Amino acid sequence: MSARPYPAFFGYGIEIEHMIVDTQTLDVRPIADQLLRSVGGGYEFEVERGDARWSNELALHVIEMKTAGISRDLEDSAAVFRRQVDEMNALLAPMGARLLPGGMHPWMQPERELVLWPHENDVIYRTFDRIFDCRGHGWANLQSVHINLPFQNDEEFARLHAAIRVVLPLVPALAASSPFVEGKRAPALDYRVEVYRHNARRVPSVSGSIIPERVFSEAAYQSDLLQKIYDDLRPLDPDETLLEEWVNARGAIARFERGAIEIRLIDTQECPEQDLALVTLVTAVVQALAEGRFGPPERLQLWDEKRLEAILLPCVEHASRAVVTDREYLDLFELEASDLMAGEVWSRLADRLLPSASPARRRLEVVFSRGTLAERLVRAAGLAPSHEKLVSTYRTLAACLAEGTAFLG
């Protein structure tokens, strides 16, 4: 592996997706192209916005904002995203639309409401649709926060990939925000991750077990993981449109072209300030593991993806109240307990790794005291909410995004 420009934990590349919805009804509005055209002048899928970029990926009601390059400070990134949210909402208002946060739209019906991006790079989305049929929630109705963590060489990649793999199972217990689907309580509090797990079932190697396999060099990743995906896709994609590293749909994927690993399991929260608080904690834990502060980092490479998946799935279903019963897993974080609720794991890690007076630690207090955003949404709307109750609850959520405040539920 040739050296990349940024060493591990030098900085962060953050991406946040939001829905565009009708101001009054909160139904999805497929007008991301109009929003991008209002600032870019054309129908490019990505436009530069100073220290940020705006783009669309696949569904026309979804807009993504991302840091322009690498950010050294996550609090600065929160301020960048706050400006983007304010500007987007100002531009959408005359169109009768606004941004809505959360991991999934609570009553969207993709079968009839999905509109694919029809402009630049649309051949990629049409190919995805032809092979996988994107008229499902796992393609059409999911918004997430991505963290790109850099590495320079194989040694850094190995440590970073090993640390990320063992943190992934806990992420839904911190970040779940998708408890409703098609107007009803979903079967899991992190239903976004649940449908994401199955969206490529026609070619199972595309997403695997969501937890990446035990590969710790670029050569092994290319030959043992990516090549399997490419071989399985090629009969369905003879033009090789999708045979790129980004087609890998695991919960964390190596982006060798940019020298980073991208973490994909964080549901979008109620506002960028909360998003970046979660990112701060997740990256702090990954860094502590990779740097050996919880013990020799080499031992992290021993963990099989199926064993880690067994920890992930209860967290997807129950979020912070999932019980972690694997004592050896808890030992990885120096947590002395035979079992522990996953939310408590995060709380203890935050106490150890984040200064108590830091902005991120203060913002996380609502998660530790009141549960994940998904749990707070269910508490506010109820287990069997009427459509009117869902609209009212998610109108409050949209206000949290606009005002930069936590949703208390």
> Is the pLDDT confidence value at 188 over 90?
yes
Total number of domains constituting the chain: 1
pLDDT of residue 2: 53
Mean pLDDT of 121-125: 92
Q: Is residue 250 part of a domain?
A: yes
Q: Which of 168, 170, 173, 251 is nearest to 208 (CA)?
A: 251
Q: Is residue 407 pLDDT above 50, yes or no?
A: yes
Sign of CA dihedral 191, 251, 262, 150: positive
CA distance 173 to 386: 26
Average pLDDT along the chain = 96
Residue at 8 is within a domain: no
Kindly state whether residue 141 falls inside one of the protein's structural domains: yes
Looking at the chain, the whole-number percentage of residues with pLDDT higher than 90 is 95
Q: What domain range is 330 assigned to?
A: 13-403
Please give the helix or strand (H or E) that residue 69 lies within, else none: none
What DSSP state is assigned to residue 206?
A: G
- Contact present, 104 and 17 (Cβ < 8 Å): no
Average of per-residue pLDDT across 13-25? 98
3 pLDDT more than 70? no
Number of H helices, E strands in the chain: 17, 12
**Does residue 310 belong to any structural domain of this protein?**
yes
Contact 319, 172 (CB under 8 A): yes
pLDDT tens, position by position, 223-234: 999 999 999 999
Considering the domain boundaries, does residue 4 fall inside one? no
pTM, entire model: 0.96
Q: What is the pLDDT of residues 325-336, one digit of tens each?
A: 999 999 999 998
- Rounded Cα gap, residues 159 and 149, in angstroms: 12
Tell whether 190 is covered by a domain.
Answer: yes
Percentage of the chain modeled with pLDDT above 70 = 99
396: CATH: 3.30.590.20
Residue 83 counted as domain residue: yes
Span 43-53, mean pLDDT? 91
CA torsion 25-376-408-79 (nearest 10°) is: -80
Instruction: Tell me what the mean pLDDT of segment 95-116 comes to.
Output: 98
What's the burial of 158, exposed, middle or buried (CB within 10 Å: 0-12/13-18/19+)? buried
Cβ neighbours of residue 322 under 8 Å, at least 6 residues apart?
173, 314, 315, 341, 342
Q: Compute the C-alpha angle 113/117/118, nearest 5°.
A: 110
Confidence at 242, pLDDT banded by 50, 70, 90: very high
Average pLDDT value for residue range 362-388: 98
Q: What angle do CA 226, 231, 235 make, to 5 degrees?
A: 140
| Whether the predicted pLDDT of 1 surpasses 80 | no
Q: Which pLDDT belongs to residue 409? A: 86
β pairing state of 62-67 and 184-185: unpaired
395 lies in a domain? yes
Residue 350 vs residues 283, 296, 365: alpha-carbon distances, Å: 11, 21, 10
Q: Dump pLDDT digits (tens) for 273-295.
A: 999 999 999 999 999 999 999 99
pLDDT computed for residue 144 by the predictor? 98
Q: Quick count: other Cβ atoms within 10 Å of Cβ 402? A: 15
**Cβ proximity of 99 and 167 under 8 Å:** no
